[in-house]
Structures are given as structure tokens and as C-alpha cells.
A = this chain, B = another copy of it.
């Protein structure tokens, strides 16, 4: 009963977040980092490893709880693959900004994660994230740093 309740909450959060993300992409063409954030979420939620890694700068870093800094595409691919295998993740940006010069920006917000804690068991985690974006020479926005941590006390 509690487990099915959690799944329902998760599905509600997922649906709501996809709605928010799509709204932000289409409604914020003037905010390129929010558009990049939403585009990254789209391939991340679809667990497309190649496309998710391709959003990262060659010197980009993922700062994942429980692991040292992962820098470069090979290390990032390993971190994201582990994420895909162990969890379902959605996030919701609530702040963003771009430098006047237009090549450095950030997005930040909250996330919900459904973690596989044991065979057939999941736990819901929620927390926050911070992403630093860099505009590349080809005009695309890439992740320089991505970091998250949980709102919940250690279990």
C-alpha cells in the first residue's frame, strides 16, 4: 500500500515536471540556459547515454554525492550510466542566469529521484541542483559543472 502510494506520488511529480520543463523550453527562447537545461532533461529522462554525455563540455565535471569529482566525458559517462541503472531522475529549474557576454550561465532548482535501493524496492529522494553552462564556439551550451545533493537527512 505504501509502495503503491509512493509510485503514484512519483508519477504525479514526473508528469508535473515534464509539463514544467516543456513549458520552459518553449516559453523561454530568450533564456538559452533554461532551454539547454530542458533539452538535457529530455535526453536524461529518456536515459539516452550518448546524448546525455554530449551535453557536457570536454572538461566538464559532475559532482555526485558519494563519489569524487568526475571530470571529462569518460568519467561523466560512467557517472551517468550508474545513475541510469540505479535511478529515475527529474529536475525542475527555478533560477537561471547568463553573463552579459553571453558565454557563461547557470541553472538551479530541485529534483526528485526514484532510487533502486534493493531488488524490487525503491526509495524516493528529493533535493536540489546547480549547473554551470558554457557556450561553445559552435553556439551550443555545454555543462561545465553539474552538482546535486539531497534535502533528506542521511538514512
Binding site for B on A (CB under 8 A): 61, 63-69, 95, 97-106, 108, 110, 128-130, 132, 144-145, 147-155
Contacts and interface: CB of A to CB of B under 8 A. Distances in A.
A128 B66 contact: no
- Ranked 7 nearest A-B pairs via Cβ: A99-B99, A101-B101, A100-B101, A99-B104, A149-B149, A65-B149, A154-B154
A150 B66 contact: yes
Nearest to A64: B149
A128 B63 contact: yes
Contact of A66 (B101, B105, B108, B152): B152
Contacts of A151: 66-68
A130 B97 CA distance: 16
A145 B100 CA distance: 18
A150 B97 CA distance: 26
A111 to B, nearest CB: 11
19 contacts: A61-B108, A65-B65, A65-B149, A66-B150, A66-B152, A67-B151, A69-B128, A99-B100, A99-B103, A99-B104, A104-B104, A104-B105, A104-B106, A106-B145, A108-B145, A132-B132, A147-B147, A148-B149, A149-B149
